[in-house]
Amino acid sequence: MADFERERDNYRPGGGRGGGRGYNNKRKRFREDDDFEQQPYRNQRQRHEAPPGTRLRRGLLDIGEDSLRMPHESAMNLAKLAMENYEDEYVRDTLSEAILRLVEEQPFKIPFVAGVVLFAHDEKKEVAADVITKAGAQLQDRLEKGQWREFKLTLRFLACLSRVYEQDGVFPILDELFNRAVDLQTASQEDAVGLELVRIILMTIPYLIASASDQTLKQKAVELLEKTDVIASTPHQLEALVDPYLGQDDADKPMAFGSTISILQRQLQEEASNGWPLDCVLRVYDPSYMRGTNLEANGDANGSSTSISFPSVTVPSPVVQGPRALFPELFFSVFADQEIESVPSTSNIASTLIRDAINDTINALDFNRNIVARYLSEIDCFWPPNIFHKRGMAFDKLRDTDDGRPKWKPEDVAIDAVFSQILTLPAPEHKLVYYHAIITEMCKIAPAAIAPSLGRAIRFIYRGLDTMDLELAYRYTDWFAHHLSNFEFRWKWAEWTSDVDLPDLQARKAFINGALDKEVRLSFAKRIRETLPEPYHKLIPTSKEKDMPESKFANDQTPFAKEAREVLDLLKKKAPEEEMQRVLDSIQEQARNQGVADPMVSSTDVYMTAILSSGSKSLSHVLSTIDRCKERLLAIGTQSEQARRQILASVAEFWANHPGTAVNIIDKLINYTIVTPMSVIQWALVDHVDRGRALAAAYIYEIISITMFKVTNRMHQLLELRNSTKTPFDQRKQMDEALPNERQGMRDMFAAIEDAVAGIATGAQDEMVERFEGDEEEQELIKTWGERWARVWRRKAAVMEAVVGEAAVEELVEPPPVEDIVVEDAPVMEDMDRIE
């Protein structure tokens, strides 16, 4: 026994000679080994506590994310940490920098960081004074640059500190903003900057009142609301263009959508009449939490000895519009004002305040979609307790809850906000794929909670496709197909089986066709067919399974079939151009003898089809072939406009079963300038319109959208370089001279689109009048498609006019010459190490 104890005392973990789990250690571990290694006398590595500045930064970044801690506890602990180490320069800089960055990037946390400043102010006035001074400088900078979201959020943060200000605090700047809004609205009824200023005022008031200790501010808020009512309640002239649904009668729409600013005005008036309860605004700070601290040293919470002057802010006149064009904003929701209230109703101010905070978080944190998805999945952490149900609660159980709480599902609120961004008009702030990715990440984080809410949103939008704006319907189609591709293309298609037999011109059937086509592009036809119920199989015929289409000239009955095969052989052999020209001349001669009006159309069809057949293995193959034949294709367009359009017709016909490939090739043809944007418009909406039926094809809309994006993007780039002070003035002057011609060319293309689709909308299109073969119901459906197209492109034209029109472009003024600065040579020291 003694020997055993002695061996145990000399035991080294791992066995062998020299300690540790050394070479060739095959001894099994036993329970006693773990007990031995966990003894208190075991050597442990010394742990170093992070410096206070680092702990402060980490605490601020994580504040509010722990649902198990009360908000005031986190705020008080961070305030105490800052106060105890405020002599440290790094702590002082970290506190202000982290807070102001959080204010602009994570709006959910504004009440939390405001609570930190207020708790710190109670014991150390200097802390709050420094933060407020830097926030004031940031507010002035954002105002001068027209960065309205950042300005609004910084102003909100300052409003949350209203109890520490002398006199009226934030109200003077709100009054000044309103005066500027009145000036802008008086100057132009189409002004949107004034609307944005009023929206900022209204969004600031709830946080100001919820944080104020001075009861007289409530009356001032009521007086300000009386003034803003004139602007907020007046419909803007552009509201009809950004309405997500067609029609003037709200009864025909899935939801009556009002402007955000008018809804917010009514909500604030209701809050004022009820004594400003503002139940949805989180109050982190409460003086009672500081009992036992040194409040008397600085005075009480309302004492003048602790008051701080509000930073001086000058509102420029005129106000800068900013980098982004502003338009009226309508409140879009897929869940609001329904029988079961899973999101705040539009009569509740929580609907606009929560939505505004979510939208700002999404758009400000676009560089980290994973964090955005996590915040949206945990949204209930950042608002007052008991206004949300438990995460993941089944929708059916909401009806049975009768505990006096609002029936708000956090998942519904988050999904509702993301869809409002995807379906915003005229355009969301970021690329649509970013918003797609947020929903995808949310489904990965909390699939059981998010999936049911997402399914109900999908069904709501699907039911309203008949009256939805066409651009939004295609955005929804793109998102739907993209989302399914991330989850094995699974969806309950059986719910929509009854719509499979609808005419292709019906909006829901057009959506199904478009979504399945997108899915095939993201996968392959056979796999997609296997995910569908049997009634859908006819929508994906077996011909779509062929990756390499067969040329129409493979059939000897097709005119010029022999010559087409000869042209294809010459292309593959890379024969000299003289041999190719000889065959094409023969085709033109035969076509001329057959009475073809433009024989070059026939030869172009043969030549382009041969190019597509030669490169049909992949997109890179066909682009390589097009690049090799570029000179001849460019010459075709200069000789015959009809032949140029035939290039497009040949692409669409060859890739009829894979329209996505046709769209990609046409996109490259525009880049190569082989076809012009106007020729694309004329081919798609005149030559290929099929008496209006083509307007229901998703790929036609996609082609026109890609084409016009190139045109409008060129205008944006030209204007940006013209206005950039970094561009040499002589180049800016050249761009200024080219701007009118480019603008007129853009207008001509918008006019061509509107002329084509307006004729279809009224039934005055030539082929519809002369040779329409369908029944009256089909004709009405076609007219509806014409109306939907016309609405989209009128809006896009109006948006571009607001950005690059003569009224929007300021006169180019040459900057004053910069005087040369003479720098005197510094004396040269012979010995650089010597200091005298």
Residue 9 pLDDT? 42
| Chain centre to alpha carbon of residue 661 | 26
For residue range 438-490, what is the model confidence (pLDDT) as tens digits? 999 999 999 999 999 999 999 999 999 999 999 999 999 999 999 999 999 99
pLDDT band of 12, cuts 50, 70, 90: very low
Distance CA 744, CA 650 (A): 30
Distance CA 311, CA 133 (A): 6
Lowest mean pLDDT segment, chosen from 19-23, 108-112, 306-310, 486-490: 19-23
Distance CA 188, CA 38 (A): 77
Average pLDDT over residues 330-339: 91
Q: Find the length of the chain.
A: 836
pLDDT band of 592, cuts 50, 70, 90: very high
For residue range 772-792, what is the model confidence (pLDDT) as tens digits? 666 788 999 999 999 999 999
CB atoms within 10 A of CB 742: 16
Q: Which two tokens stand for residue 313?
A: 């802010």
On the question of pLDDT at 825 being above 90, the answer is: no
pLDDT band of 407, cuts 50, 70, 90: confident
Average pLDDT over residues 6-22: 43
For residue range 632-641, what is the model confidence (pLDDT) as tens digits? 999 999 999 9
Residues whose CB falls within 8 Å of the CB of residue 345, separated by 6 or more in sequence, listed in order = 336, 337, 351
Distance CA 206, CA 271 (A): 9
Residue 250 pLDDT? 66
Looking at the DSSP bridge assignments, the partners of residue 165 are 308
Q: Which of 40-49, 211-220, 260-269, 732-741 has the highest mean pLDDT?
A: 260-269
Average pLDDT over residues 67-96: 93
Distance CA 695, CA 717 (A): 30
- Helices and strands, counts by H and E, the chain: 34, 0
Q: Which two tokens stand for residue 59?
A: 């605490």
Average pLDDT over residues 184-210: 93
pLDDT band of 807, cuts 50, 70, 90: confident
Residue 694 pLDDT? 95
Distance CA 481, CA 478 (A): 5
Tell me which of 315 and 806 has the higher pLDDT: 315
For residue range 36-46, what is the model confidence (pLDDT) as tens digits? 445 554 555 66
Residue 45 pLDDT? 63
On the question of pLDDT at 818 being above 70, the answer is: no
On the question of pLDDT at 174 being above 70, the answer is: yes
On the question of pLDDT at 674 being above 50, the answer is: yes
Residue 679 pLDDT? 97
Residue 763 pLDDT? 81
Burial label, 713 (beta-carbon count in 10 A; 0-12, 13-18, 19+): exposed
For residue range 274-312, what is the model confidence (pLDDT) as tens digits? 999 999 999 999 887 765 455 444 544 444 346 899 999
Average pLDDT over residues 367-386: 95
Q: Which of 5-14, 24-33, 60-69, 800-809 has the highest mean pLDDT?
A: 60-69
Residues whose CB falls within 8 Å of the CB of residue 13, separated by 6 or more in sequence, listed in order = 19, 20, 21, 33, 36, 37
Average pLDDT over residues 325-354: 92
Residue 805 pLDDT? 86
Distance CA 297, CA 300 (A): 9
pLDDT band of 29, cuts 50, 70, 90: low
The one-letter code for the residue type at 701 is: Y
Distance CA 756, CA 749 (A): 11
On the question of pLDDT at 404 being above 70, the answer is: no
Q: Which two tokens stand for residue 516?
A: 């399945």
* 8 Å CB contact between 144 and 100: no
Q: Which two tokens stand for residue 236?
A: 């803007």
Angle between helices 659-671 and 507-522 (to 10 degrees): 80
End-to-end CA distance of the chain: 81
Residue 384 pLDDT? 93
Residue 772 pLDDT? 61
Residue percentage of the chain with pLDDT more than 70: 88
Residue 296 pLDDT? 47
Phi, psi of 172 (to 5 degrees): -55, -40
* 8 Å CB contact between 282 and 111: yes
Q: What is the pTM of this model?
A: 0.89
- 9-18 contacts, C-beta under 8 A, 24 or more apart: 11/36, 13/37
Residue 489 pLDDT? 96
Going by C-alpha positions, the residue among 173, 171, 161 that lies closest to residue 213 is 161
Burial label, 273 (beta-carbon count in 10 A; 0-12, 13-18, 19+): exposed
On the question of pLDDT at 739 being above 60, the answer is: yes
Going by C-alpha positions, the residue among 660, 664, 661 that lies closest to residue 517 is 660
Average pLDDT over residues 548-562: 91
Distance CA 155, CA 792 (A): 36
The one-letter code for the residue type at 432 is: L
Angle between helices 470-485 and 507-522 (to 10 degrees): 40
Distance CA 614, CA 622 (A): 7
For the chain, what is the mean pLDDT? 88
Distance CA 13, CA 21 (A): 6
Residue 247 pLDDT? 74
For the residues of 747-766, what is the DSSP string, one character each?
HHHHHHHHHHHHHHHHT--H
Return the CA Rg of the chain: 34
Residue percentage of the chain with pLDDT more than 90: 71
